[in-house]
Copies of this chain bind each other. A is one copy, B any other.
Amino acid sequence: MSLLDFFLKSRKENTAKLAKERLQIIVAHERTSRSGPDYLPQLKQDILDVIRKYVQIDPEQVTVQLDKKGEQLSVLELNIMLSDDKPQNADDNTEETKS
């Protein structure tokens, strides 16, 4: 099964539950004994920064998981729920109108 097939399969299972816009990012780093330091924690922030060039990200809608499996594999997983075509400052305006 290819990685794309896996995505399609897991997506089909989730579609009934939610029909929101979503970004899922996986970074798998297979290391050797000669690899340098693990840079995935810093890379996580860099990736979020470049995504912000294209879409607004609500920090509360981001889940991050960083798994280390022994010395040889690190996997970073980012799940970002994106607001429904509604910029975040539109919410702020609503708040202002209320007060």
Residues of chain A whose beta carbon lies under 8 Å from any beta carbon of chain B: 3-4, 6-8, 10-11, 19-32, 34-36, 39, 42-43, 46-47, 49-51, 53-55, 65, 67, 69, 73, 75, 77, 84-85
Could you say how many copies of this chain the assembly holds? 2
| B residues near A39, Cβ cutoff 8 Å | 54-55
Besides the known contacts A3-B26, A25-B26, A39-B55, 8 further A-B residue pairs in the complex with CB atoms under 8 A apart: A4-B65, A11-B28, A21-B31, A22-B29, A25-B27, A25-B28, A34-B84, A34-B85
A30 touches which of B21, B42, B54, B73 (Cβ 8 Å): B21
Contact between A77 and B27 (Cβ–Cβ < 8 Å)? no
Closest approach, in angstroms, between the C-beta of A57 and any C-beta of chain B? 13
